[in-house]
Amino acid sequence: MPLHCVVSESEHLVTMRTEGAVTFPDLQAFLTDMRARSATSYRKLLDAREGHLVLSEDELASYERQSIECAVYDRLGPYAIVATEASKQAHAALLTLLLSNTRRPSGLFSSPTDAYEWLLTQAVPGKL
């Protein structure tokens, strides 16, 4: 699976790691899983140092719409993204989308430790 995901209910944290080609169905499955687990408000740490995004512009727009729909039903938790210079290029469209979302705090980091420590300073929003 190109998008590995671990949910810690006790920490209100979702840890994700990309590997190989990440496709639109992978992102849809992630959103569905987050809704099913009531984890959309959890802190999210995405390690995007490996893998690459394979999305058309229409798929990216659809993912953005689906993400916005999640915010209608629940508050979105903070998002920390770990990336290298190369992975920033490989995931450029998705990173731009995630980092420009004003509905939640987000940050881009070069170290998983820095990203995790930043996430711990961010509040987990309450349910709507």
pLDDT of 112 reads 95
pLDDT of 99 reads 77
pLDDT of 74 reads 73
The one-character DSSP state at 50 is S
Residue numbers in the chain where pLDDT is lower than 50: 128
pLDDT of 73 reads 65
Q: Identify each DSSP E strand in 1-128 by its residue range.
A: 3-8, 13-18, 21-23, 43-47, 52-54, 79-82, 106-109
Q: Are 37 and 7 spatial neighbours (Cβ–Cβ below 8 Å)?
A: yes
**Could you give all domains of the chain from N- to C-terminal order, each with its CATH number?**
3-120 (3.30.750.24)
pLDDT of 53 reads 82
DSSP string covering 2-36? -EEEEEETTTTEEEEEE-SEEEHHHHHHHHHHHHH
Comparing CA positions, the residue from 55, 41, 47 lying closest to residue 5 is 47
pLDDT of 80 reads 93
- pTM to 2 decimals? 0.85
Question: How many C-beta atoms lie closer than 10 Å to residue 101's C-beta?
Answer: 16
pLDDT of 57 reads 83
